[in-house]
Amino acid sequence: MGVVCEQYIYYKHILVFVITMIPRVKTFVRGLDEIMDGGIPEGSVVLLLGKPGTMKSSIAYGIIYKNVCDAGRKALYVSLEQSASSLTENMVGMGFERPGADSDLSILDLGLLRKKMTQLGQQAWIEIFRMYILNLKSNFNFDLLVIDSLPVLEMLAKFKEPRDELFQLFEWLRDLKVTTFLIHEETPGSMSYGEDFLADGIIHLDLRREMNAVNLFLSIMKMRRTNHRRGYFPLIFEHGNFEIVTD
């Protein structure tokens, strides 16, 4: 379940010490859950931050895929850039099985909505986006949500008051009572509206050149309600499985 949460409450005017467990969502990245109290606190909004080529989408997909297969959860992957067929083919090529028609992993391709956005008002687009998600939450009742990506969502929404409207978006995601992964491209000034403060967690992915190779690294920059190790850990992908090297 996760790390204990300690608190004091009053019962019949007596101060009582209470220990509760925080439910966790496992990442199934070998070695990662062990260094952050067993996983990500349920209901968190987590940024997967990294430069192009750091496998952000692959890790997000891997997390929800493993949770569907091994933990009995339901997951929704919302793609704002890549078509559902292209995403599926890429993931199959990496060793993940193709989700069936009755799968508990659903991919929502909003590319068609992007094509029609010229016919929509600025506010209408984010309202339609929310409507799609709420309808699927009602009918599919997913536990995990991936939005790929946050910069594209911000661009399409064309917020007039970015800080306030982004705050409202994060609160709306928390109100869904799901664990959300927001894929975020790392560029100069990439978190100019305070996404890093609004997020409950930030998992950073980085590429480093070492000798004649370019290697992938992972760091937990932030994770609320969690004790976690700091530092950059080598990240390895083989046969559909991710692993960090902590020794």
10 within domain boundaries? no
Average pLDDT over residues 82-94: 93
Phi, psi dihedrals of residue 241, rounded to the nearest 5°: -130, 135
Beta pairing partners, 24: 41
Q: What is the dihedral of CA 132, 134, 137, 140, to 10 degrees?
A: -40
Mean pLDDT of 220-237: 95
Task: Round to the nearest angstrom and report the end-to-end CA distance of the chain.
Answer: 25
Across 2-6, average pLDDT: 51
CA distance 244 to 31: 6
CATH code, domain carrying 88: 3.40.50.300
pLDDT digits (tens, 9 = 90+) for 16-41: 555 568 999 999 999 999 999 999 99
Query: How many domains, in total, are found in the chain?
Result: 1
Distances, alpha carbon 194 to alpha carbons 160, 166, 184, 189, in Å = 15, 8, 13, 10
For residue 196, give its domain range.
24-244
Q: Are strands 179-185 and 45-50 parallel, antiparallel or unpaired?
A: parallel
> Which pLDDT score is estimated for 242?
97
More confident residue, 44 or 240: 44
With respect to residue 19, please indicate whether it lies within any of the assigned structural domains. Answer: no
- Say if 15 falls within a structural domain: no
What is the SS3 string spanning 116-151? CHHHCCHHHHHHHHHHHHHHHHHHHCCCEEEEECHH
Q: Is residue 7 part of a domain?
A: no
In a domain, 12, yes or no: no
